[in-house]
Structure 1
């Protein structure tokens, strides 16, 4: 992980009081941040998915989100739908929407991020400056994905591949636990049938990857039905975002509205 930027030092000079830690966020938001990007982990994974990301870019803070049922929240039940998850997430991050903010989701979590944006509007809370959706079709075009038809053993191997990509070694007992988490997340995807998705007031950036064979960039065109959408295609495969590619991090830090 990159060194902590000066903007987030204890003596950063921010006028706001220090934010209290939330079970939704592994670390407390910085009172010195000028903007925040909430990064939601994809299916079967927790906030540790973003361990290679920097804490921020300039005065923009990147905050991985911890979802129920994984890592530090392993004993908590996972909501049964993206709509319920979005509402719960909004309640969890509401105290930290005092600066411009964006939501980022990749694959499965792109839909969680979209539903969080919908729930923010329903709750009368501030809208995101931008919704970033990576490697996922629009709600009305799904559900899609090779994991929808996977057996439990295949899901465990999928998680093992992700762990190795992050530089770790999969532990058999933990793999078994998280394969159950992944199964529950995939079931949420299977139930997500949204033929007429609500249109967001905030702009959307749909991010594709040039070597992504799971969700090719040209399958993301449907996001225009969900709001004003721009499209970006970066070099790399489906999991390239894990490495915090400079072009992605730079775009996130530049497009939050500060």
Structure 2
């Protein structure tokens, strides 16, 4: 009697939805610490002609059964391999706070591998790598992080029930540890960087983001109106900055 063949291992699900093959450009969004890709539910499917692609790291939501990536370097290594087929047209990365630095590390690894590079790396509400790690949350114990996670869930429009908070707590703890361990020192990115501060952000005030010009010769800084969570609603001022730095491709017709 023949033993049953082992089922083929499913590929990782790094994107919450399949990219549009007809889109002229792509923007990959990295989630905030403790959250999954669905945190961008209020963002449009497109920004002009740019296809909005939601990155889903392991250990959360539809990847809850998978182990955490551990470090940004590990995450970037696996993500670079996965993204190869999707880098066949102009693309960029966006991340806010704990979601900003993974885009930096993925860009570094793409450059090291001689692969296509992002047109732009949009970093929102985060200090430059050589000025970190920096976060108020590093000083909080589990009870404090539990309360913080409830605040994040509320900002996302959810109800911070006990089970939901407890499920996300380990993800938040591990995401913060990855942030804490990311200390690459002074780096130079081959891609341009748009550093976006927020006028009422008390977590990462704009004045702490002054190190980004040292990261990219193509740096540009902008301060938008709003608090630390203002990016969640995809305000038009933010989308306008993204269209601006993508350039003409953002307005290209979709076939």
The two structures have a TM-score, normalised by structure 1, of 0.88
The alignment covers a number of residue pairs equal to: 237
User: How far apart in 1 are the matches of 2:21 and 2:162?
Assistant: 40
RMSD of aligned Cα (Å):
1.4
Match of 2:105 in 1: 115
Match of 1:180 in 2: 170
Q: State whether structure 2 residue 184 is matched by structure 1 residue 208.
A: no
User: How far apart in 2 are the matches of 1:41 and 1:55?
Assistant: 16
Match of 2:15 in 1: 25
Q: Which of 143, 147, 150 is the equivalent residue of 1:157? A: 147
Shift of 1:22: 6.6
Q: Which of 161, 180, 183 is the equivalent residue of 1:193? A: 183
Q: Deviations over 1:189-248 (max 9, x none)?
A: 221222232x11110000000001111111111111211211010000011000110011
User: How far apart in 1 are the matches of 2:47 and 2:83?
Assistant: 20
User: How far apart in 2 are the matches of 1:250 and 1:64?
Assistant: 19
SS of the residue 1:232 aligns to: strand
SS of the residue 1:255 aligns to: helix
The range that moved more, 131-140 or 173-182, is 173-182
User: How far apart in 1 are the matches of 2:26 and 2:68?
Assistant: 25
Structure 2: unaligned runs, 5 residues or longer: 1-10, 250-255
* Poorly superposed stretches of 4+, deviation over 6 Å: none
SS of the residue 2:33 aligns to: coil
User: How far apart in 2 are the matches of 1:87 and 1:224?
Assistant: 25
Q: Deviations over 1:139-162 (max 9, x none)?
A: 110111111111112212212112
Q: Which of 215, 227, 232 is the equivalent residue of 1:242? A: 232
Structure 1: unaligned runs, 5 residues or longer: 1-20
Match of 2:82 in 1: 92
The range that moved more, 51-60 or 85-94, is 85-94
Q: State whether structure 2 residue 131 is matched by structure 1 residue 141.
A: yes
Match of 2:6 in 1: none
Shift of 1:69: 0.8
Native 8 Å contact 1:37 1:252 kept in 2: no
Answer with 1 or 2: which has the greater Rg.
2
SS of the residue 2:210 aligns to: helix
Q: State whether structure 2 residue 210 is matched by structure 1 residue 221.
A: yes
Shift of 1:256: 2.3
Native 8 Å contact 1:56 1:253 kept in 2: no
Native 8 Å contact 1:217 1:233 kept in 2: yes
SS of the residue 1:93 aligns to: helix
Q: 1:34 to 1:194 in 2, by over 3 A?
A: same
User: How far apart in 2 are the matches of 1:22 and 1:193?
Assistant: 27
User: How far apart in 1 are the matches of 2:49 and 2:185?
Assistant: 39
User: How far apart in 2 are the matches of 1:22 and 1:249?
Assistant: 29
User: How far apart in 2 are the matches of 1:184 and 1:32?
Assistant: 36
